[in-house]
Amino acid sequence: MDSLTQITLGAAVGEIVLGKKVGNRAILWGAVGGTIPDLDVVTGAFLSPIQELAAHRGFSHSIVFAVLGAFLFGWLIHKTYQSSYHRYFAVVGWMFIPVGVIFFVSRIFDNASFGLSSSLFLGAVILTALYLLFSRYFKKGVEKPDTSIREWQWLMFWSLFTHPVLDCFTTYGTQLFLPFSNYRVALNTVAVFDPFYTAPFLICVIVLSFLKRSNHKRRVFAWAGIGISSAYLLFCIINKQRVNSIWLESVREDEIAYSRFMTSPSIMSNFLWTCIAETEDGYVSGQYSVFDKEPKVHFEFIPRNPDGLDVSPDDPTISCMRWFSNDYYSLIKHSAGFQFNDLRFGSVRFADQAPHYIFNFVVEQKASGELEMLGSNGGPPPGSEREMMSMLISRIKGI
């Protein structure tokens, strides 16, 4: 899931585990713990694009990391509060929140330039965080929390562990069992960014943060946020089963022979689904909205290699991308060599143009025959964000 959602989940978990004892500090460190696994993106600066693809949602999202990280980070937090300079360390902790918001906004507008309103919003977030830090930590004394190292480790474990568990519900996939297995757990039931999951949860966390730690309503709001979001996840699972049944019925009606299939939600909601099945020659794909007038999926055929590219499926670079896409892919020509399309995330078609695949990789074939992944592309083409959003909303409505 996106960074803001993971911060929200971590904050709620922190409140449940230790909020009664330490108040908003539990929210803070829960939010930090919910952010830590996604910091694996920092390693991308030191890795090749193909290595980064394999590493993201890797070890930092595993059960082993949650256990080991809980011992390490819990110990560090405990030691921090034993120091007379703990208020200065708090600055680093609290700044995770505006940094997380900035990171979230930058990911959403990855291909768009920041305008005046966006810059003012981010500036306001930073200034608000700095004001709260000054008024809370430097104008008056701050008591040290009466907590044990084990309590901090318990808080960090749950914030680190719930992060990859939530990611398992997405289509991207999570290497939950590293280092023992690189199998990507992907339940394909919720989009990586879904405001219907995040918004009610975030509101509950914001409200409880303004209550005194002795107020029992803090836990009520924390459990309400967890309960509402969990209920939505359950709805997503049930909705997926309904979509699967409609997909299977559509396949039978059209007498399509397939070896396997999958369904996955589109970005931002659980109401529009991409359905894809592997056939002998390629794939059949279609979309279904819960607001469609008839319970029917209309298919289009996607050949695996329509341009007849001479690419070995066993090449190390191709093998890694096939593993990442769970073998739902197609190859098309590109000016740099060819483009590897991950079909799980669907496509969008602008006017009479060829379909644009939401998640794709550009690969260069060198003179030696060696393949090199140049980078990955996610989302619409630059400059078409608004058009794609309009098309997405229309399709969700069943138009």
Same domain, 183 and 268: no
Share of the chain above pLDDT 70, in %: 85
Q: How many domains does the chain have?
A: 2
Tell me the C-alpha to C-alpha distance, in Å, between residue 351 and each of 324, 356, 388, 391, 395: 30, 11, 11, 11, 15
- Does residue 194 fall inside a structural domain? no
pLDDT of residue 369: 72
The more confident residue out of 132 and 384 is 384
- Does residue 193 fall inside a structural domain? no
- Does residue 30 fall inside a structural domain? yes
Mean pLDDT over 15-26 rounds to: 91
pLDDT for 263 beyond 90:
yes
pLDDT of residue 198: 93
- Does residue 197 fall inside a structural domain? no
- The last residue of a domain, from among 153, 188, 223: 188
Strand partners, 261: 277
pLDDT band at 165 (very low <50, low <70, confident <90, very high): very high
- The last residue of a domain, from among 148, 170, 188: 188
**Residues 6+ away with beta carbon under 8 Å from 292:** 398
* CA-closest candidate to residue 52, choices 357, 374, 332, 353: 374
Same domain, 29 and 167: yes
Best-predicted range by mean pLDDT (32-41, 147-156, 364-373): 147-156
pLDDT of residue 98: 61
pLDDT of residue 111: 44
pLDDT for 93 beyond 90:
no
Of the ranges 120-134, 263-277, 377-391, which one carries the lowest mean pLDDT score? 120-134
> Which pTM does this prediction carry?
0.84
pLDDT for 107 beyond 50:
yes
Same domain, 165 and 16: yes
- Does residue 264 fall inside a structural domain? yes
Same domain, 151 and 269: no
In angstroms, rounded to a whole number, what is the distance separating the alpha carbons of residues 38 and 35?
Answer: 6
What is the crossing angle of helices 96-108 and 86-94, to 10°? 10
In angstroms, rounded to a whole number, what is the distance separating the alpha carbons of residues 16 and 158?
Answer: 10
pLDDT of residue 52: 83
Of the ranges 245-249, 282-286, 351-355, which one carries the lowest mean pLDDT score? 351-355
pLDDT of residue 114: 47
- Does residue 219 fall inside a structural domain? no
Mean pLDDT over 317-338 rounds to: 90
Same domain, 175 and 279: no
pLDDT of residue 238: 95
pLDDT for 129 beyond 70:
no
- Does residue 223 fall inside a structural domain? no
pLDDT tens profile 268-283: 889 999 999 999 889 9
Overall size of the chain counted in residues: 399
pLDDT band at 113 (very low <50, low <70, confident <90, very high): very low
Q: Tell me the residue range of the domain where 183 lies.
A: 3-188
Mean of the per-residue pLDDT values of the chain: 85
Same domain, 181 and 295: no
pLDDT band at 112 (very low <50, low <70, confident <90, very high): very low
Same domain, 142 and 281: no
The neighbour count for residue 110, using CB atoms within 10 Å, is 12
Question: What does the radius of gyration of the chain's CA atoms come to, in whole angstroms?
Answer: 23
Same domain, 270 and 149: no
- Does residue 99 fall inside a structural domain? yes
In angstroms, rounded to a whole number, what is the distance separating the alpha carbons of residues 393 and 398?
Answer: 9
